[in-house]
Amino acid sequence: MEIIFSFDTEDYIDPVSNDALLELAQIHSKHGVPGVFGLVGEKARFIHFCGRDDVVEALQDHEVAYHSDHHFILPNPRYAPRHMPAWVAEMPWDAAMDRLLAEESRGLADIEDLFGERPVTQLRNYGDWAPQVMAAQARLGVAVHAYGPVFHNTDPEPVWYCNQLQIANPRHMYENYLHDFTLSPQEKLERHIADIRTHLEQGTPRLGWVTHPTRFIADTWWEEPNWWGHCDDPPRAQWRAPERFDEETTAELLTIADGVVGFAAQHEEIVPRTFREFAEEYRQTRVWVTDAELRGLAKRIGERPAMVNYANETFSPAELFGLFAHALGAPEGGAASERSPLRRILGPTEEPWETTPGEISRAALVEAAREAEHFIRDHGRVPHRVRVGSTQLGPGALLVAMAAAIREPDAERVAIIAAPNLPKEYREGHYATIENGGWPMGYIQFQGRRDEYDQAPIRRQAMLQYWTFKTATKTR
């Protein structure tokens, strides 16, 4: 069984949290078990401002990942609401992306400056699974989204979604027993080990061990004195740390971590992993698709957009749309038409057009493909509609029609069907889970008030970005 130890490393208020972080990194180094420490950008700056070179040095033995710039609690008076997912829900896609790219780039750059290496993994914040966040992180070079979107958050099979590699698995936390003070430290350790043994006996292929260094120093979340239940960030001068455990209690809790990591290190059936390793194993390297491959892909298109498996590789509906649009509509012609670029584009970000069935000439379809190609070059995503003469086609209908035109290059006319604009589910129930499964927004800033906020825009965008879904195949 594989196991990934990951730490949401986020307390940038209490300097004592840096001591717990140091101890946890050193415990993992002592046992030769890599950890994944997902730093908030402000936490990285906090470590630096506190002069903790020892913490920086200890973390360099492990994977340093990313956990947003301010834990999505942004001291930025230019925007309201100030909790990022709420902003994402209320704004058009491009406005949300502009803010995410501007603000998240700071945290990534500061972590790279401090540790000499850019994070490749995003440890998901709270329950936040807004697709705009994944798409922005992917554009910033963060290849992996840990814990997966809501419809794929316990399935060990790696998949691509929003152009991030989604690594999900069943998860346990030190917090399951950490603060149950009716148990002795030894009893807590034994329960943790019993949980791991249960997964071994059940044949779980990969287990995630998720925790927070700040939980070793306090029973109260570090945000609670400042942000609990609201989005109005207090000025920095008013930030307060929660009440800490005494040193003896923190030391006892750290011995539990030492025991769990030591058990994993010594067990011959447990293989510690990091998310960065998955990024390398599944890194996408293909740049071109040949004409022969293109025809093979077109033959696998039915009456609805869907992921295609071809020659032991997978192609998302968005990738297929981009291939077909280039093959039919590339304005350069000549040698540019002999192969097609495989582009990691997004799905439509506006409500797709519902197509009326009919028939059009091949020339009209080529013009539609050219319009789609120009849109992709300008925006990096599938268009939500394309004009064809006096009518318009939705992306589902256009994908199916382009595939038919590639399959039958001599046909003068192409049938247009009312193909669905949402791709076929890889597993039945994915869309239902997006619609009904969990809250897209974080729980602390919206504690007890989540019904006040409209989740529908995020859920709908998550469905539209199913155009980017495909199972992951290892790099050749």
CA 287, CA 169: separation in Å to the nearest integer? 30
Q: Would you state the pLDDT for residue 454?
A: 74
What integer pLDDT is reported at residue 445 of this predicted model? 62
Cα-flanking dihedrals φ and ψ of residue 123, to 5°?
-85, 120
Q: Which one-letter amino acid corresponds to residue 213?
A: P
Identify whether residues 28 and 142 lie together within a single domain. yes
The Cα 335–Cα 339 span in angstroms is: 8
The answer to whether residues 347 and 374 belong to one domain is: yes
Calpha distance 84→442 (Å, rounded): 9
CATH number at residue 28: 3.20.20.370
Domain count, the chain: 2
Determine, yes or no, domain membership for 70: yes
Query: 309 and 265, same structural domain?
Result: no
Range list of β-strands (E), 245-390? 271-272, 288-290, 308-310, 313-315, 339-341, 358-361, 386-388
Q: 437, 394, 440: which is closest to 417 by C-alpha?
A: 394
From CA 466, how far away is CA 430, in angstroms rounded?
Answer: 9
Residue 133 domain flag: yes
The region of weakest confidence among 77-81, 210-214, 235-239, 245-249 is: 77-81
Q: Residue 110's domain spans which residues?
A: 2-281
Q: Is 430 part of any domain? A: no
201 in the same domain as 120: yes
Q: Are residues 43 and 176 in the same domain?
A: yes
Top-ranked range on mean pLDDT: pick from 315-319, 334-338, 437-441:
315-319
User: How far is residue 434 from each of residues 129, 169, 324, 410, 440, measured CA to CA in Å?
Assistant: 10, 18, 29, 42, 9
Q: What is the pLDDT of residue 234?
A: 80
Residues 92 and 183 in one domain: yes
Question: Which one of 281, 304, 324 terminates a domain?
Answer: 281
Question: The tokens of 52 are what?
Answer: 């903790």
Task: Tell me: do 71 and 149 sit in the same domain.
Answer: yes
The band of 106, judged by pLDDT with boundaries at 50, 70 and 90, is: very high
Residue of higher predicted confidence among 287 and 232? 287
Q: Are residues 78 and 212 in the same domain?
A: yes
Q: Which of 248, 281, 314 is the last residue of a domain?
A: 281
Q: Are residues 238 and 306 in the same domain?
A: no
Which whole number is the average pLDDT over 308-335?
92
Q: pLDDT tens-digit profile of 122-158?
A: 999 865 678 999 999 999 999 999 998 989 989 999 9
Instruction: Let me know if residue 298 belongs to a domain.
Output: yes
Do residues 196 and 245 both lie within one domain?
Answer: yes
User: Do 152 and 222 belong to one domain?
Assistant: yes
